[in-house]
Amino acid sequence: MRINNQKGSVLIEGLVSILIFSFGLLGIAGYQAAMIKQTSNIQYRLQASLLVSSAMGEMEADPTLVSCFKAKCPDAQPWFDKVAKLPGTVDNPPLIEAVGNGTAITVSWALPKENDLGGNPVVHSVRAQFASLELP
């Protein structure tokens, strides 16, 4: 084979390798974006879990607070203010309800720009239930 027939092949090989490298970088960037999204989801889930746990602890320590939390009385307002810091809680307020012989607390949130296939916001929630010690 003559050398004259291979002119420019190094340039083509270089362009192909740059193309492959570029696709690799795009893949890494996409992976990093997905990890950032998952990290924020985990952060909000942790915050919601801590809020539910703190409300349960307060209600178990003082059973009269169960009705106070249900009615959003001033003693429970600091907890509701903390819940309001989660994104999307305006449309998804916390729910405290009687379930059987206990009380269930649900904290929901919706991340901005996270929609399902129908364009509706995706709502995440943490729910816990405990045996109620509420006084009659």
Give the H or E element holding residue 41. helix 9-61
Instruction: Please tell me the pTM assigned to this model.
Output: 0.72
Q: Compute the average pLDDT of residues 85-113.
A: 88
Q: Compute the average pLDDT of residues 9-34.
A: 93
pLDDT at residue 132 above 90?
Answer: no
Give the H or E element holding residue 126. strand 121-131
Q: Compute the average pLDDT of residues 12-27.
A: 94
What type of residue sits at position 118? Answer: G
